[in-house]
Amino acid sequence: MADFSGYIILFLIWLVSMILVRTILGRSKITSNLPPSPLALPIIGLSCIVACSPETAKEILKTHETSFCDRPISATVDYLTYGSADFAFAPYGPHWKFMKKICMTQLLGGQTLNQFIPIKSEEIKRFMQLMLKKAKASEAVDVGRELIRLTNNVMPRMTMGQICSNNEEEADEVMNLVLSIFEFSGKFNLADCIWFCKNLDLQGFGKKMKEARKRFDTMMERIIKEHEETRKTNKETGRDDAPNDLLDILLTVSEDESSEIKLTRENVKAFFMNIFSGGTDTSAITTEWALAELINHLDIMNKAKEEIDVVAGKNRLETLRLHPAGPMSVRESTENCTINGYEILAKTRVFINVWSIGRDPKHWEAPLEFRPERFIAEDGKSQLAVRGQHYHFIPFGSGRRACPGISLALHMVHSTLAAMIQCFDWKVNGGDGATVDMEEAPGLTLPRAHPLICVPAARLNPFLSLE
């Protein structure tokens, strides 16, 4: 024990010495014009800046966009995405550009999404049928959990032509798998910041990550093999082998020998890891926050109900301002550049604080208030777009690495929220006059700190207006 204590003392002496040396050397660099920051520690391998204003965000995401086209890779994300074989976190290069083109032209284009409208409508009807059952029994509903279950049914059907589970128990397992993957992706990992912890699993992430990816991999292998067998049979029998879902499209691309980029099986599975983790939790949480805000503002809720046939749920944009599903957009600089007069070195991690930008009093009147009418001009049209052209409102990011699934997300959120507020009255589990606690929890997708528990009351037949 004494020897071990001696090592600790020696380490502390070394650490203090290094801090003093770093401080002295740092003060001597009078020619450097780095952004203001706290004292840098020599053993922490992380250099980062935070952008909290629209003006700085524009500098990073537009003026100097080519210097910030990469995303930082964490040990967790790298493992879960089969060695960064995915699209969302892939380095900015030929593979990423190829996948971006495929996403925009085939995977997530308007024609493909229109093809999935019947699937979306069918699953929303199923969801509304459950809400109607709860309403008739005056039972409370965990809205967030049921919305995640809904998106867990919609997304696999759109992307892989099937629900990933055959019963409620399996559905819960898949839902928990998706949530655990997203949770791992957002957790702070010592291995990413302290070099001598790189190969140590001090927080116990390693075993849990391996279990999560193994479960995901088993599910994906089963589904891919089923698709491959169907495609083979169709080819042998001369049946129509036109792609029916996103997986079919990717398999077709991967089999194309003339393709400029050859997609591997890991690329395909990693892409669907992105779809599951980025397209399920986010849509559900956005819808949940929107409903919570409307319950707390009954005048706006009533107005939305009255105008839903003309302006289908204009509150959605305001929800994305106050509760963006991606509250922090992360980039990494690939070269030295100057932002707002400060020198930003290559390999610097940049956090765009989307949450703070959406509440900036310089750009938003009464920024903390829920005022959806601020987005609607006198002619009834939206004054702001969500596609990253207005830097005080960037819920989906901006530029080359903006979220490619904007249309998919809005399709899902718009339809679900409109149906919920049109077909039901929602009361907080506590009776008339009760309000929703709006506390936020930490996380990549800004989840609620407390579940939204409501009792729905049917206003009209939920199946008359969902086509």
**Residues making up the binding site for heme:** 403
Query: Among 249, 260, 446, which residue's Cα sits nearest to residue 358?
Result: 446
In sequence order, which residues have a C-beta less than 8 Å from that of residue 467 and are 6 or more positions away?
121
In sequence order, which residues have a C-beta less than 8 Å from that of residue 226 and are 6 or more positions away?
none
Burial 373-403 (b: 16+ CB within 10 A, else e): eebbeeeeeeebebbbeebbbbbbbbbebbb
Query: Among 286, 78, 268, which residue's Cα sits nearest to residue 189?
Result: 78
- Exposed/middle/buried for residue 155 (C-beta within 10 Å: 0-12, 13-18, 19+): buried
d(C-alpha 320, C-alpha 317), whole Å: 5
Cβ atoms of 414 and 319 closer than 8 Å: no
What sign for the dihedral angle of Cα 311, 127, 437, 323? negative
277 token code pair: 């983790």
DSSP 8-state secondary structure symbol assigned to residue 448: B
What residue numbers does the annotated binding site cover? 403
Rg (CA), the chain: 24
d(C-alpha 71, C-alpha 402), whole Å: 12
d(C-alpha 382, C-alpha 393), whole Å: 13
d(C-alpha 326, C-alpha 324), whole Å: 5
Cβ atoms of 216 and 210 closer than 8 Å: no
Burial 72-104 (b: 16+ CB within 10 A, else e): bbbbbbebbbbebbbbbbbebeebbebbbebbe
Cβ atoms of 161 and 247 closer than 8 Å: yes
